[in-house]
Amino acid sequence: MPAAKTWRELDLPGLRVEQDGPVAVVTLNRPDARNAFNYEMASSLQKIYPALDLDDSVKVVVLTGAPNKGNAFCAGADLSGGDFSTASNWNGEEAETDPASHRDEGGQCVLATLRVRKPTIAAITGHAVGVGATMLLPFDIRMAWKDAKVGFVFAQRGIVAEACSTYLLPRLIGHSRTMSLFMTARVLPASDPAFDLLWSTTHESPEATLKAALDLAHDIAKKNSAPSMAMIKHLVWRGANSPEEQHLLDSRAMFVLGNGEDSKEGVASFKARRPADFKATVPSSMPVDIPPWWTEVDVRSPAVRAKL
């Protein structure tokens, strides 16, 4: 069986991917279309995230959008080829006719983002509408240009809020604000109070937003333990159903990571009042003593599974 391609070997239409030391920068790269989301971009995102997750040299992933005349991070779904009834046919294959078999491409990208074990940062350097907004929700940190227009406009298009957004957005900003954004379908500046809980920070310009995201990415990569951050992500998003069950998970993780080399270095550097020099990487240093405690769900469509 041939070895899996590294991310540098992948054909990634619609994206530009660069590595700046320990930081991988993924750029939505369809500037002539205001970085609108199409099948090629969706397919590329679903390839690049797992590939970056498997690269031990990558410690943080940053997503941004290529500059364009429309000042768009992502203008939403590219509907130049039709309406949403043809969305399942974006790839040129026969359209899916079974609702239970259809898989929303935005949701597939969001799930791929959530599975990245490294910290993820979204630098929203322009307007983000529809899937351009929902693709931001699985990121650990979101930093926005204050004048970027953001809208969850699905009710104005006769469809539903997709890409797992009905699960993620209430957990990020609360049900009340979520329902207001979904029901009004308003497009608002990122600085609007409706988004107060969604962004870690807002910035005066697109350039300042990207710079702040990259600075933070390098700071995180330099100062923090990679396995620690990966395990924290698992505990937050794949936690238990009660405080008691969560306590059992926390305890096991504390035992295993607390006896690891990064923990020893973290304590030694604290006592010596010097920066930590963490050696552990992800995925190579992820502890095998803590197998996944959650149920894995196969979200591939029946047609995809049949090809495997």
Burial class (CB in 10 A: 0-12, 13-18, 19+), 197: exposed
Q: Is 39 helix (H, G, I), strand (E, B) or coil?
A: helix
Please report the pLDDT score of residue 3 as a whole number. 64
- What is the C-alpha separation between 64 and 4, in angstroms, rounded? 26
Model confidence at 5: pLDDT above 90: no
Domain count, the chain: 2
Q: 161 and 26: one domain?
A: yes
Please report the pLDDT score of residue 74 as a whole number. 98
pTM for the model: 0.94
Please report the pLDDT score of residue 308 as a whole number. 66
Model confidence at 237: pLDDT above 90: yes
Q: 178 and 266: one domain?
A: no
- What is the average pLDDT score of the chain? 93
Q: 251 and 279: one domain?
A: yes
Q: 283 and 195: one domain?
A: no
Q: Last residue of some domain: 206, 222, 238?
A: 222
Q: Last residue of some domain: 191, 222, 253?
A: 222
Any domain includes 2: no
Give me the residue label for tokens 């969604």: 198
Q: 64 and 125: one domain?
A: yes
Q: 283 and 201: one domain?
A: no
Residue 23: other Cβ atoms inside 10 A: 22
- In terms of residue numbers, what domain contains 232? 225-307
| Alpha carbon distances (Å) from 262 to 221, 228, 269, 305 | 14, 8, 10, 39
